[in-house]
Amino acid sequence: MVVTGILAGIAFVFSVMSWLNESTQDKIDKATGPLASGITEMDRRLTGRLDAVDARIDRLEVRVEKEFENVNAKLESVNAKVDNVNTKVENLNAKVENINAKLDLVLKRR
């Protein structure tokens, strides 16, 4: 009889603890529900903004690559023109040297 009373008391304590645990969990859920909802909404917004930033970065990378290609093409064109000018200057120098050589011959003959 005493053992049954002790077991009944222990069972009562466990049932009260279970009830307190459940009610405490309900209170916590009620208190943190709006917070969890707010966090979820904030995460959704942040994810959307980060996706938009990623899209902008991708578009900028494409534009920068195209601009680099354009700049490289223009630099190649400029290099070709400079090479052309260098060739003409070399030809002109050769003509000037030829003229100087002829003038030296003329001066030596006098």
The answer on pLDDT for 107 being more than 90 is: no
Q: What tokens were used for 88? A: 């003409």
* Rounded-to-integer distance, Cα 25 and Cα 38, Å: 19
Mean of per-residue pLDDT scores for the chain: 88
Q: What tokens were used for 48? A: 């959307």
Cα–chain center distance at 40: 25
**From 25-29, 40-44, 64-68, the region with the lowest mean pLDDT:** 25-29
> Coil, strand, or helix at residue 110?
coil
Name the pTM for this structure. Answer: 0.48
Task: Give the residue, 56 or 23, on which the prediction is more confident.
Answer: 56
State the pLDDT at residue 68: 96
Encode 72-105: b = buried (16+ Cβ within 10 Å), e = exposed: eeeeeeeeeeeeeeeeeeeeeeeeeeeeeeeeee
State the pLDDT at residue 53: 96
